Amino acid sequence: MTEPIPQARVAKVARTDSTVLILGETGTGKELIASAIHKRSNRSSRAFIRVNCAAIPSSLIASELFGHEKGAFTGALQRRLGRFEAAAGGTIFLDEIGDLPGETQLALLRVLQEREFERIGSNQPIAVDVRVVAATHRDLKAAVSAGTFRADLFYRLNVFPIEIPSLRDRVDDIPLLVEYLIDRYAKKAGKKIRHIKKKTLELFQRYPWPGNIRELQNVVERAVILCDGEEFAVDESWLKPESHQPSGPTAASPSVLAEGQRALAQREKEMIEAALAACKGRVSGPFGAAARLAIPRQTLDSRIKALNINKHRFKTP
């Protein structure tokens, strides 16, 4: 079994200004580690700025990070400060750093080496005091060998690497994580859940969690929403990957599992549509569907998109 997240290493590096590279599969909680490093550092009273490098189009990432001057390109109607300037004196967290385009990699290398950058459309260097914490699920050494990631940038980032084990390698942590998440989502939903079925915990510990902590959060949140009593339980069909099905005539076929997942998705869709109808299409705010379902707005937006729900049809003139 992989060693648990080294909290002592996190605490030690937090007190320094060293660049940190967090490595781990998607959903393992890399942003939580980055946030913990910032909160334990001397920069904790200053900004903690998050940037998902994979979520920003490659044509816009340089402007997002370093800002631009008015007229620097079509649509640049005024000067815009970038994320590095917003993080001045604090910490910038560059998630999915392995997706950074080549030209932006060079600009980031300059920041790490010289502690300065230039806004797009300007040749005036700007000094910056920012701690960089980066993260990726990619194999950066392989990317360097393939020529898609700069070797010099990799070595600048890899000053203090922290590897986060996947959830399937932290089986003993699962009961505490589940208990914490149930309490968190039950409070939001205004529910009191006092017991967890032993069978459910065993199911959670057997499941390989390909989506790691992010998947665990989603399953617990969904189960809390559907829970009508004080005992927490989940439908076994939610957590039956094909590779873990028993062989023989009693094994559930992929079609049966798919049907169960479709039924669950349909029930979830009906609940969300009912909430949207009651709230006249409003998602956020105290009278929105998210508040009615007692889940975060971002979570509801994500589920609306995933379930292909047209929220606009519930709006009334």
* Domain assignment of residue 258, yes or no: no
* Domain assignment of residue 2, yes or no: no
* Domain assignment of residue 261, yes or no: no
* Domain assignment of residue 106, yes or no: yes
* Domain assignment of residue 262, yes or no: no
Q: Is residue 242 located within the same domain as residue 316?
A: no
- Beta-sheet pairing, 195-196 with 48-52: unpaired
**Per-residue pLDDT for 245 more than 60?**
no
Query: Which of 138, 165, 192 finishes a domain?
Result: 165
* Domain assignment of residue 1, yes or no: no
Token representation of residue 314: 């519930």
pLDDT score of 144: 93
Alpha carbon distances (Å) from 196 to 14, 86, 212, 240, 272 = 36, 44, 20, 19, 26
Question: To 5 degrees, how large is the angle CA 285–CA 291–CA 292?
Answer: 125
CATH number, domain with residue 238:
1.10.8.60
Q: Is residue 12 located within the same domain as residue 160?
A: yes
pLDDT score of 293: 67
pLDDT (tens digit, 9 = 90+) per residue, 116-163? 998 888 888 999 999 999 999 999 999 999 999 999 999 999 999 999
Token representation of residue 163: 């590897």
Q: Is residue 275 located within the same domain as residue 237?
A: no
- Beta-sheet pairing, 48-52 with 131-136: unpaired
**Per-residue pLDDT for 284 more than 80?**
yes
156-183 in b/e form (b: 16+ CB < 10 A) is bbeebebebbbbbebeeebeebbeebbe
Q: Is residue 49 located within the same domain as residue 123?
A: yes
Q: Is residue 32 located within the same domain as residue 153?
A: yes
pLDDT band, residue 285 (cuts 50/70/90): confident
pLDDT score of 261: 61
Q: Is residue 142 located within the same domain as residue 179?
A: no
Beta carbons of 230 and 241 less than 8 angstroms apart: no
Query: Which of 147, 165, 183 finishes a domain?
Result: 165
- Beta-sheet pairing, 20-23 with 160-163: parallel
pLDDT score of 151: 94
Q: Is residue 12 located within the same domain as residue 156?
A: yes
Q: For residue 85, what is the enclosing H or E element?
A: helix 83-86
Q: Is residue 13 located within the same domain as residue 135?
A: yes
**Per-residue pLDDT for 34 more than 90?**
yes
pLDDT band, residue 59 (cuts 50/70/90): confident
Q: For residue 187, what is the enclosing H or E element?
A: helix 174-189
Domain assignment of residue 158, given as a range: 7-165
Q: Is residue 23 located within the same domain as residue 156?
A: yes
pTM over 0.75: no
* Domain assignment of residue 243, yes or no: yes
Q: Is residue 194 located within the same domain as residue 53?
A: no
* Domain assignment of residue 45, yes or no: yes
CATH number, domain with residue 94:
3.40.50.300
Number of domains into which the chain is organized: 3
Q: Is residue 80 located within the same domain as residue 218?
A: no
Q: In the 8-state DSSP scheme, what is residue 133?
A: E
pLDDT (tens digit, 9 = 90+) per residue, 207-233? 999 889 889 999 999 999 998 889 998
pLDDT band, residue 299 (cuts 50/70/90): confident
Average pLDDT, the chain: 85
Query: Which of 150, 165, 180 finishes a domain?
Result: 165
pLDDT (tens digit, 9 = 90+) per residue, 156-205? 999 999 998 888 888 888 888 899 899 989 998 898 998 998 899 999 99
Q: For residue 162, what is the enclosing H or E element?
A: strand 160-163
d(CA 227, CA 215): 18
Nearest to 234 by CA among 249, 244, 224, 243: 224
Residues 6+ apart with CB under 8 A from 25: 137, 164, 166, 212
Q: Is residue 79 located within the same domain as residue 133?
A: yes
